[in-house]
Amino acid sequence: MAASVHYQIENVTKQFPMRKGTLQALDPVSLEIYQNEFVAILGTSGCGKSTLLRMLAGFTAPTTGQILSHGVPITGPGKDRGMVFQSYTLFPWMTVQKNVEYGLKQQKMEKSARAETARKYLNVVGLDGFADAYPKELSGGMKQRVAIARALAANPESLLLDEPFGALDTQTRSHMQELTLDVWRQYPKTIVMVTHDIEEAIFMADRIVVMRARPGSIKEIIDVDLPRDRDFYIKSDPAFLDYKRHINELIYEESLKLEQEALGA
Amino acid sequence: MKHPNKRVDATTSALAPQGKLSRNVYVVLAVVSFAAVFAVWALITNLGLVNADFMPTPQATVQSAIELFTEQHFLEDIRVSTYRVLMGFLISAVIAVPVGLLVGAYAPVNALIEPLMSFIRYLPATAFIPLFILWIGIDESEKIAVIIMGSLPQLLLMVAVDTQKVPHDLVEVSYTLGTKRSLVLWKVILPASLPYILDSLRMILGWAWTYVVVAEMVGASSGIGYMMIQSERMMVVGNIFVGLLAIGLLGLVFDCLFKLLDKLLFRWK
Ligand SMILES: Nc1ncnc2c1ncn2[C@@H]1O[C@H](COP(=O)(O)OP(=O)(O)OP(=O)(O)O)[C@@H](O)[C@H]1O
Ligand SMILES: [Mg+2]
C-alpha cells in the first residue's frame, strides 16, 4: 500500500492515577496507521484497547509519547474523527432520525438534504421503521446500529469504533460488518476498530494489531493478505482459517499469562 | 392507552420493590389516604375528644371557609400570596437555572459560586426577615426577597447537580460529531438535564410556599399567612384550618401542573 500515513502513534504510554500509586494501562506503543486503512485491534479485556482509541479520539492525552494525525499532534476531539462508543451514547431526547442528523446539522447541511442522508443511513443499518422512535424504545443492538448510522452519516475522515457490533446477534453482526465495509469502500476513510471477535477482525481489516495483556502493548501486527472484495464465503477460506488459528494462539497465550499471574499473586 | 398485556410481570408486580401499580389502583389508594386523615379528623372533633377551641370540626371549618370567602375577601389573600410565591419563584428560577448550569458545567464557575452558595443556603431565609424589613420595608418586595433568599441558593445548587448527572460520554460523542466546545452546554448538557431541572423547580416551588407564609406572619397586611396569624390572635381556629387547607390544595395544583408539563415535554424519558 503506497498510501500516506494518517496516524502516527509514537511511544505512547498511559498511566491512570489510582488511590495507591498508578495503574500502567499501556506500555510504550508505536504504530503507524495509513490513510484509508482499516485497522482492527484485538486483545484480552482490560489490555487498554479503549484507552488507545480514546487517545486517538483526543479525549485523553498520552502520559508519555505522542499521537500525530497528518503530522499534527492530536490535542482534542474533532469532527474529523467520528466515534462509536462501547457504551450507548445516543442523545435520549432526540428521535432516531434527529440523532442521525445531528452531525450533519453541525456541518450546517441544509434541512432536506440532512433528512435524506439520515434516512439513507437508517436504511443501511436496517432501521427505516424507527426514524421517529426515541432511543429508550430501542433494544441495545438497535441503539448501537443507530450510533453507527450517526457516525457514518457525518462522513468523517476517520472512524474510531469501539466494539461497535458487540451487542448484536450473529446474523445482524455479519450483516453490519458487510454494510460497514460497503460504506467504507464507497466513502474511503481511515478506520480503527476495537473488537473481541477474531473472525470479525480478519474479515474487515487490512491489518490486525494483537495486544498483550495488561499493561497493554503490541504483541504482533498481522497483515491480512486477503482480497479486499471479501464476502461471507471468505470466512471458510483456508487462508482465512490460518489467520484465525494463528491469532487464536496469540490471544490464548495472553489469557494464559493473565491466568498464571492471577494464580501467582 | 389500553394495555395489550394484562398480566403482571413478577419483578414489577405491585408489591415488589420498584414495582408498578395500575393507574386506577393508584388513584384509589391516594383517595383512601386522604379519606383516612379526614375521617380521623372528623371523628376526634365530633366526638369531642379535643377542645373545639383548638381543633374545629370539618363542618365548622367549612363554615369558616364560607365566611372567609364571602365576608373577609379570602380570595384576595390567596391571590396576593400566590402572586408573591410566583414572583419569588420566577425571579429565583431566572437567575438560578442559567447560573446553576454554568456552575455544573464549568469547574472555575463552580469553585467561585458553589461553596459560597452552600454557605448561604444554610442561613435560614426566615432569619433574614428582620433585616429585609429594615432594608426594604414591609411591602411586596420584602416578601418576595424572603422567598428568593430561601429558594435561589437551593435551586442553583440543585440545578448544578442536575447538570452534572449528564453522562460525560454524551459530551464526548457530541464533540466527535462536530459540536463546538462553546455550544456543548446549550446543545447537549441543557437538553439532557432539563427533566431533572424541571423536577428541581417543582420541589423549590413547594418550599416557596413555606417562606411566603412565614413572611406574611411578620409585618404584613394581606395574604394567607397574615389571615392565619390574625385568626390566631382572635382565637378563630377554623380560619387557621382553612388557611392550611388552601395552601395544601394550591401546592397540589401546582405540583400536578409540573407533572403534566413533564409528561408533555419529556416523552423521551
Ligand atoms: N478513566 C480511567 N481511570 C482509571 N483506570 C482506567 C480508566 N480507564 C481505563 N482504566 C484502566 O485501564 C485498563 C485498560 O482499560 P480499557 O478500557 O482500555 O480496556 P479494554 O482493552 O478496552 O477492555 P475491554 O475489552 O474490557 O473493553 C483497565 O485496567 C482499566 O481499569
Ligand atoms: Mg474497551
Total residues belonging to chain B: 269
Confidence category of residue B163, pLDDT binned at 50, 70, 90: very high
Nearest CB neighbour to B177, from listed A59, A93, A102: A102
Q: Between chain A and chain B, how many beta carbons pairs sit less than 8 Å apart?
A: 64
Q: What is the pLDDT of residues A34-56, one digit of tens each?
A: 999 999 999 999 999 999 999 99
Q: What is the pLDDT of residues A211-227, one digit of tens each?
A: 998 889 999 999 999 99
Q: Are residues B41 and B85 in the same domain?
A: no
A210: enclosing H helix or E strand = strand A207-211
Return d(Cα A134, Cα B90) in angstroms, integer.
31
pTM for this one?
0.89
- The ipTM value here is 0.92
A125 touches chain B (CB under 8 A): no
B9: pLDDT strictly greater than 90: no
- Tell me if B269 and A151 make a contact (CB, 8 A cut-off): no
Confidence category of residue B99, pLDDT binned at 50, 70, 90: very high
CA of B169 vs chain A CAs: smallest distance (Å): 6
Q: Would you give the DSSP letter of residue A260?
A: H
Q: Are residues B191 and B219 in the same domain?
A: yes
Nearest to A151 by CA among A57, A73, A69: A57
Confidence category of residue A257, pLDDT binned at 50, 70, 90: confident
Q: Are residues B35 and B94 in the same domain?
A: no
Q: Looking at residue A214, what is its pLDDT?
A: 81
Return d(Cα B175, Cα A213) in angstroms, integer.
30
Pairing of strands A72-73, A64-69: antiparallel
Nearest to B221 by CA among B81, B22, B41: B81
Nearest to A195 by CA among A38, A52, A49: A49
A177: pLDDT strictly greater than 60: yes
Average pLDDT, chain A: 93
Q: Are residues B63 and B88 in the same domain?
A: yes
Query: If phi over 0 gives left and psi between -120 and 50 gives alpha, with beta otherwise, what is residue B18?
Result: left
Where is average pLDDT lowest: A73-77, B82-86, B94-98, B134-138?
B134-138
Return d(Cα A212, Cα B224) in angstroms, integer.
73
**Burial zone of A5 (CB within 10 Å; 0-12 exposed, 13-18 middle, 19+ buried):** middle
The mean pLDDT of B219-240, rounded to a whole number, is: 93
Return d(Cα A78, Cα A157) in angstroms, integer.
10
Q: Looking at residue A265, what is its pLDDT?
A: 64
Is the distance from the beta carbon of residue A46 to the nearest atom of ligand 1 less than 6 Å? yes
- Is B183 domain-assigned? yes
CA A86 to centroid of ligand 2, rounded, Å: 6
A103 touches chain B (CB under 8 A): yes
- Is B5 domain-assigned? no
Q: What is the pLDDT of residues A81-98, one digit of tens each?
A: 999 998 889 999 999 999
- Structurally, how many domains does chain B consist of? 2
- Tell me if B176 and A151 make a contact (CB, 8 A cut-off): yes
- Chain B residue with minimal CA distance to A100? B177
Q: Looking at residue B15, what is its pLDDT?
A: 85
Q: Are residues B67 and B197 in the same domain?
A: yes
Q: Looking at residue B12, what is its pLDDT?
A: 80
Return d(Cα A13, Cα A64) in angstroms, integer.
5
Where is average pLDDT lowest: A132-136, B49-53, B168-172?
B49-53
- Is B133 domain-assigned? yes
Mutate to test the interface with A, among B170, B172, B173, B174 (most CBs of A within 10 A): B173
Contact at 8 Å (CB) between A188 and A36?
Answer: yes
Pairing of strands A5-17, A64-69: antiparallel
Structure-block grid coordinates of residue A263: 494464580
Residues of B with CB under 8 A from a CB of A: 167, 169-170, 172-179, 188, 191-192, 194, 266-269
Collect all residues with Cβ–Cβ distance below 8 Å to B209 and sequence separation of at least 6: B85, B247, B250, B251
Q: Are residues B251 and B142 in the same domain?
A: yes
Q: Are residues B42 and B127 in the same domain?
A: no
- Tell me if A103 and B192 make a contact (CB, 8 A cut-off): no
Nearest CB neighbour to A93, from listed B174, B176, B191: B191
- Tell me if B179 and A83 make a contact (CB, 8 A cut-off): no
Domain range for B36 is 10-46
CA A88 to centroid of ligand 1, rounded, Å: 17
Q: Looking at residue B6, what is its pLDDT?
A: 66
Instruction: State the CB neighbour count (10 A cutoff) for residue A214.
Output: 21
- Ligand 1 atom nearest to CA at A53: 18
Residue A126, phi then psi, degrees to nearest 5:
75, 35
Q: Looking at residue B258, what is its pLDDT?
A: 95
HEC secondary structure over chain B: CCCCCCCCCHHHCCCCCCCCCCHHHHHHHHHHHHHHHHHHHHHHHHCCCCCCCCCCCHHHHHHHHHHHHHHCCHHHHHHHHHHHHHHHHHHHHHHHHHHHHHHHHCHHHHHHHHHHHHHHCCCCHHHHHHHHHHHHCCCHHHHHHHHHHHHHHHHHHHHHHHHHCCCHHHHHHHHHCCCCHHHHHHHHHHHHHHHHHHHHHHHHHHHHHHHHHHHHHCCCCCCHHHHHHHHHHCCCHHHHHHHHHHHHHHHHHHHHHHHHHHHHHCCCC
Is the distance from the beta carbon of residue A6 to the nearest atom of ligand 1 less than 6 Å? no
**Burial zone of B74 (CB within 10 Å; 0-12 exposed, 13-18 middle, 19+ buried):** buried
- Is B91 domain-assigned? yes
CA of A206 vs chain B CAs: smallest distance (Å): 24
Confidence category of residue B14, pLDDT binned at 50, 70, 90: confident
- Tell me if A93 and B175 make a contact (CB, 8 A cut-off): no
- Is B4 domain-assigned? no
Q: Are residues B228 and B250 in the same domain?
A: yes
Return d(Cα B114, Cα A57) in angstroms, integer.
32
A84: enclosing H helix or E strand = strand A81-84
Q: Are residues B36 and B83 in the same domain?
A: no
The enclosing domain of B135 has a CATH number of 1.10.3720.10
Is the distance from the beta carbon of residue A158 to the nearest atom of ligand 1 less than 6 Å? no
A2: pLDDT strictly greater than 60: no
Of B213 and B1, the one with more pLDDT: B213
Contact at 8 Å (CB) between B133 and B142?
Answer: yes
Structure-block grid coordinates of residue A205: 481489516
Give, using CA atoms, the residue closest to atom 25 of ligand 1: A45
- Chain A residue with minimal CA distance to B171? A89
Collect all residues with Cβ–Cβ distance below 8 Å to B207 and sequence separation of at least 6: B150, B151, B154
Structure-block grid coordinates of residue B131: 433585616
- Is B76 domain-assigned? yes
- Is B3 domain-assigned? no
Q: Are residues B128 and B212 in the same domain?
A: yes
A177: enclosing H helix or E strand = helix A170-186
Q: What is the pLDDT of residues A115-141, one digit of tens each?
A: 999 999 999 999 999 999 999 999 988
Q: Are residues B26 and B116 in the same domain?
A: no
Give, using CA atoms, the residue closest to atom 30 of ligand 1: A46
Pairing of strands A207-211, A218-223: antiparallel
Give, using CA atoms, the residue closest to atom 16 of ligand 1: A48
Q: Are residues B203 and B261 in the same domain?
A: yes
A78: pLDDT strictly greater than 90: yes
Nearest to B81 by CA among B261, B248, B258: B248
Is the distance from the beta carbon of residue A214 to the nearest atom of ligand 1 less than 6 Å? yes
Q: For chain A, what percent of residues have pLDDT higher than 70? A: 99
- Tell me if B170 and A136 make a contact (CB, 8 A cut-off): no
